[in-house]
Chain A
Amino acid sequence: MPNSPTPSAKGKRPIRVLMAKPGLDGHDRGAKVVARALRDAGMEVIYAGLRQTPEDIVEAAVEEDVDLIGLSILSGAHMVLFPRVLQLLKTRKASEIKVFAGGIIPDEDARKLKQMGIRAIFGPGTSLQTIVDTARQLAGKRAS
C-alpha cells in the first residue's frame, strides 16, 4: 500500500530538501543515495548537483522554499564551505532552513561545525533509516 507523503510542520505539504554538493568535489554517490532514500520516505528532494557555491545553494534553498539543506562533501573543504552557507542563510533571513550534512568529515571538525549550527553530520556507513529519521525530526514532524 502506498505511504502517504510525509508532511512537514508547515502544513500538509511534504518535507522539501535541497541536496547539494558544495565546492569542486566530484563524489556524488552518497548524495544520490541519500536523495533517493529521502524520496522513498515521501519527501520532495531538489537535487542541485555538483560544484555548487554557497551562494548557489542558499539562493536555491530560498527559491525552492525547502525545510532542510543537505550538504554532501568528501573533498575536505567543509570547514570553509559550511560556515559560509550558514552565514548566507542568516543574511538572507532564512535561518529557519536547517542544514545537515554527510561525507568524509573528521570528528574534530564535525564537533566544531555542529557548534556553528550544522544540525547533524553523518559519515560513511550510516544507515539510510537513521538519515531519514533525522531529516523528519529536523523538519519538525514525527514519522507517522
Chain B
Amino acid sequence: MKKGVRGARRQARPVPRASSPLSPVARRIVSGDRRALGRLISDVESGRPEARDVLKELHPRTGRSLVVGLSGPLGVGKSSLVNRLLQHLKGLGKRVGVIAVDPSSPFSGGAVLGDRVRIDRDPSDPSVFFRSMASRGHPGGLSQSTREVIRLLEAFGMDTILVETVGSGQVDVEIHSIASTRIVVLVPHLGDEVQTLKAGLFEIADVFVVNKCDLPGADRAARDLSELAQLSTPVDGWRPRVVQTSTLLPSGIPELWAAVEEHEQALRSGTQLRARLTERADQELRSLLLARVQGSLDQALRPTPAWGSLVSEVVDRTLDPYTASEKAYRRLIQCL
C-alpha cells in the first residue's frame, strides 16, 4: 500500500546508529541538553567548522520530522498563530521546535527579533524549543543556516518544526526548499498584497490562512481565495486549502492543523515526494559546493604581486585586458 509509506518509516525505522560513538557535544544534543542546543545553533549560524562536524554526526537522526513554514506580510499574525499552534500541538503530544526569522538591518547588521513577544508558554516545558534568528544579510528572508538549525532541532528530538518568516514572493520560493507544508498567512482587506502575489500565489502555498477572521471582510477574502484556488492545477491531487483563523477568539486552529496533516498525507501517498526530495538534495549540494568554491575563489583572488603586474601591463597598454584575463584564469585554475 502506498498510503502511509513515509509515516511508517517515521515510526518504525529505528534511529540509525553511527558506527563510532557520538562526540560529547552530539551526545548532549540527543540527550536533551537545552543549553548545549542553544550554543550549537550559534556555532552553526557563525559557520564554525566544529559545528559542521557535529552536523555530520547528527545527520542520521534527521529528516523524519514534519517541517511547516509560515510566511506572510508584516503583522498578519504569524507569531500569534505559532503561539496557538503550540498550544494545539501540546494537546496532541507533539514536541515542537520553532524558528522565527526576522530581517537584519542592512545599515547596522543588527536586528530586533520580536516574535517571542507573542509566545505564551510554560518555560519549564521541555517539549518546545523556540529560537529567533536574524537573516544576517541572506536575501529572501530566510537565514543562511535555517536548514541546519532545523536538523539540529530534529536531532534534539522535535517531531514538528515551525518556521516563521516575513514573506515576500522570494521567501516563499525559498521556504519550498525546507518545508514540506507551506502556510501563507493573509488577513481580510489585504487586496493589494494579494494582487501582487496573485501571479504565483498558488504555487507558493499549500494552505492559505485568512487570519483575524474576527474582523469584517474575512468571509469575502476566504471566498475569493478559494475561488482562485479552484482554478489552480492540482499537484498530487492537492489544491491549496483556505482556512479562516482568529488567534484572539481563538478559532480555526484545529482546522488549520487538520489541513496541514491532510496535505502531508497527500504528499506521502502522492508521486511527487521523491522528486521533491531529489530537487532539494540537488539544490543543497549545489549551494554547499558553490559556497566552497566561492571560499577558494576569494582566497585565490587576493591581490598578489603577479596580479599587480598584470594590472600594470593593462594600464601601460602593453597587454590587452582579454589576454590578461585569460592568463589570470589559467593561473587561477591551477590554484583551485
B162 at the interface (CB under 8 A from A): no
A46 touches B132 (CB 8 A): yes
A62 at the interface (CB under 8 A from B): yes
A92 touches B35 (CB 8 A): yes
Residues of chain A contacted by B257 (CB below 8 angstroms)? none
A35 at the interface (CB under 8 A from B): yes
Shortest CB distance A36–B (Å) = 7
A39 touches B112 (CB 8 A): yes
Interface size on A, residues (CB 8 A): 38
Interface residues of B in 40-63 (CB under 8 A from A): 41-43, 45-48
B117 touches A47 (CB 8 A): yes
Q: Mark B116-140, 1 if CB is under 8 A from A, else 0.
A: 1100000110000111101010000
Q: Mark A40-69, 1 if CB is under 8 A from B, else 0.
A: 111111111100010110111011110000
Most A Cβ at <10 Å: residue of B37, B117, B124:
B117
B111 at the interface (CB under 8 A from A): yes
Residues of chain A contacted by B39 (CB below 8 angstroms)? 65
Q: A2 to B110, alpha carbons, bound, how many Å? A: 11
A127 at the interface (CB under 8 A from B): no
Most B Cβ at <10 Å: residue of A11, A43, A44, A48:
A44
A11 touches B112 (CB 8 A): no
B110 touches A62 (CB 8 A): no
B200 at the interface (CB under 8 A from A): no
Among B46, B48, B108, B123, point to the contact of A39 (Cβ < 8 A): B108
B109 touches A63 (CB 8 A): no
Question: Residue of A at shortest CB range from B111?
Answer: A44
Among B41, B112, B129, point to the contact of A35 (Cβ < 8 A): B112
A2 touches B109 (CB 8 A): yes
Among A13, A39, A40, point to the contact of B42 (Cβ < 8 A): A13
Among A3, A13, A47, A56, point to the contact of B46 (Cβ < 8 A): A13
Interface size on B, residues (CB 8 A): 33
A121 at the interface (CB under 8 A from B): no
B134 touches A3 (CB 8 A): no
B107 at the interface (CB under 8 A from A): yes
Which DSSP category, helix, strand, loop or mixed, fits chain A's interface?
Answer: mixed
Shortest CB distance B23–A (Å) = 19
Q: Contacts A64-B38, A65-B39: A47 and B108 contacting too (C-beta < 8 A)?
A: no
Shortest CB distance A45–B (Å) = 5
Question: Residue of A at shortest CB range from B133?
Answer: A44
A49 touches B117 (CB 8 A): yes
B113 at the interface (CB under 8 A from A): yes
Q: Contacts A2-B107, A56-B123, A64-B131: A10 and B112 contacting too (C-beta < 8 A)?
A: no
A41 touches B38 (CB 8 A): no
A12 at the interface (CB under 8 A from B): yes
A130 at the interface (CB under 8 A from B): no
Q: Contacts A47-B117, A48-B117, A62-B38: A53 and B105 contacting too (C-beta < 8 A)?
A: no
B123 touches A59 (CB 8 A): yes
B106 at the interface (CB under 8 A from A): yes
B34 at the interface (CB under 8 A from A): yes
Residues of chain B contacted by A36 (CB below 8 angstroms)? 112
Shortest CB distance B126–A (Å) = 10
Among A14, A47, A49, A53, point to the contact of B110 (Cβ < 8 A): A14
B42 touches A46 (CB 8 A): no
Q: A64 to B34, alpha carbons, bound, how many Å? A: 10
Q: Contacts A63-B34, A64-B131: A48 and B46 contacting too (C-beta < 8 A)?
A: no
Given known contacts A39-B108, A44-B111, A47-B112, what 12 new A-B pairs fall within 8 Å (CB)? A14-B134, A36-B112, A40-B105, A43-B110, A45-B111, A46-B113, A53-B123, A58-B123, A59-B124, A60-B130, A64-B131, A64-B132
Binding site for B on A (CB under 8 A): 2-6, 10-14, 16, 35-36, 38-49, 53, 55-56, 58-60, 62-65, 92-94
- Sampled A-B contacts (13; CB under 8 Å): A2-B108, A5-B110, A36-B112, A40-B107, A41-B110, A42-B109, A44-B111, A45-B112, A58-B123, A60-B130, A62-B35, A64-B38, A94-B35
